[in-house]
Amino acid sequence: MNQLIEFTHRLIMLVAFSAFMSVAVTAQDVSLDQVRISVNSDLENSLRELSTLREEIADEKIPLVTELNELEGSIRRLRNEAARYQALRDSRELGLSDIQSRLQAWENENTYLLNLLGEYASRFRSNLNISELNRFEQILQEIDLQDDSINQETNQVETELELVALGLDRIRSSFGGEQYAGSIVGEDGKLIDGGFTRFGPIVYFLDEGSQIAGLVTVEDGISARILEMQNELDSYVRLATGDRASMPVDVSEGKLPLISSSQDSLLVHIGRGGIWIYPILFFAFISLAIALFKAIQILRIKMPKIEEVRSILASIRSDDLLSAKVLADKMPAPVGPMLNHGIDNLGQPRQLLEEILYEKILDTRPRLNNLLPVIATTAAITPLLGLLGTVTGMINTFNLISLFGTGDTRILSSGISEALVTTEFGLIVAIPALIIHAVLSRRIRTILGDMEKYALIFSNGLITDDQSRLPA
């Protein structure tokens, strides 16, 4: 390739030289033919050299192409090998990432299992009957003494697994009844040795002398106490010796004494309502007294029969006013006095007579409705007083929370009790007051309606158009 370039360069130089010589020959008056002959000779020589050079290049091209192919093949092999090594490296990196992910998953699973075991140990302690604490005291202490260091992790897991096995044995043994020795605290504060018999959550106790027996109860402390049942002593003795016996069962799981002690009397329950319970009770007593008074007053009112009114009208038509007044006086109030007043005004026009009778009805209405607004006011105001007690109770509760926190809920019970009790009594008073007011109001409207009916019968019976006529 270099020879071809060199030859081309020489050819250009020759042409340039030929041109220069042509100029020189011209300058020296050399003939044009001589110059042409010289140039053609040099051109032929150059073409021969070019042909020779091309043949040499062709001869050298084949081995060069072969060598080039070999080099390209070598490059491809190197690239393939580099790709293989790259894939191998990526595979190793992927395998390492997968191993790290699995290791992290195993660590998370291990932590989860350790937390489950720790939670089981905590629940195991809380689910134990107080009579069983001595049986599992040693292993529970071992769990409490375990350090959080890595060296102690294996021992801690082994101890907790042992506790799981003991828990399973405890469950299996409780199905058919389990007996174990222990002690209780007597009424005099001394420990009494004996034996416990457990069926699930129910535990019985019998002392060594077979003199004291009862159900184990749930109480604060480190030693068990029992609810003595001396009348069932023979049954406890048979049960302790493995015989069949009919035993009392505490479905409250030992909480019966606590439930019994938590039932307050009515006065104690009212006292929990705080200051706002007293106006609620005041309105309750006032409304109750008024309701009794009005009920007696309204129920004593009797409506006469229509035949009695017709008898009065018949006496009036026969001009026997004295007999009509006697019949009106015998009718119960308020209809009798109303008709008697109508007899006294018989000479008045019908429209005026109706106004006179209606005046007696209007006079009766306020006397019947008297004091009923107090009951309606009670039905409206006692729920508001209960709501006010709820608000003050919740304020007291939040004040206690700000002082003592929420650790002990018994501290908060006073404010919550005030909130709930006042609402309870407010509704207890308001609902009956609302019902009583509605019933009494309905009865009063009925009485006034009957009075209007009898007044209309009386006025219509006095209508005469050339002859008297009675209502059909």
Q: What is the pLDDT of residues 167-213, one digit of tens each?
A: 777 777 766 677 778 777 777 667 788 878 877 777 878 787 777 87
pTM for the model stands at 0.51
pLDDT at 289 over 70: yes
CA atoms in the 13 A half-sphere facing the CB of 130: 20
Predicted local distance difference test score (pLDDT) of residue 10: 65
Evaluate if residue 340 carries a pLDDT over 50. yes
Q: How far apart are the first and last CA of the chain?
A: 149
In this model, does residue 110 exceed pLDDT 60? yes
Q: Is 90 helix (H, G, I), strand (E, B) or coil?
A: helix
More confident residue, 334 or 22: 334
Residue 439 vs residues 283, 378, 432, 446, 453: alpha-carbon distances, Å: 19, 15, 10, 11, 21
Can you tell me the distance from the alpha carbon of 311 to that of 317, in angstroms, rounded to the nearest whole number? 10
CA atoms of 198 and 213, how far apart (whole Å): 14
> What distance in Å separates the CA atoms of residue 417 and residue 274, rounded to the nearest whole number?
9
pLDDT value of residue 262: 58
pLDDT at 469 over 70: no
The Cα–Cα gap between 200 and 216 comes to 13
Q: Read off the pLDDT band of 296 (50, 70, 90).
A: very high
Range among 32-46, 59-73, 250-264, 333-347 with highest mean pLDDT value: 333-347
- Residue 71's H or E segment, with its range, is helix 32-127
pLDDT grade for 117, boundaries at 50, 70 and 90:
confident
What does the mean pLDDT of the chain come to?
78
**Model pLDDT, residue 152:** 60
* Contact assessment for residue 190 and residue 179, using Cβ atoms and an 8 Å cutoff: no
Say which residue the tokens 């043949």 belong to: 55
Give the pLDDT score at 406. Answer: 64
Alpha carbon separation from 394 to 382, 389, 412, 419 (Å, rounded): 18, 9, 9, 6
Give CA separation, 90 vs 7, 84, 94, 96, 407, in Å: 55, 10, 6, 10, 57
Count other C-beta atoms under 10 Å from residue 95's C-beta: 10
pLDDT on residue 243: 75
Edge-to-edge strand ranges of the sheet holding 213-217: 178-185, 191-199, 202-207, 213-217, 225-228
- Flag whether pLDDT at 166 surpasses 90: no
Predicted confidence band of residue 464 (pLDDT cuts 50, 70, 90): very low
Confidence of residue 437 (pLDDT cuts 50, 70, 90): very high
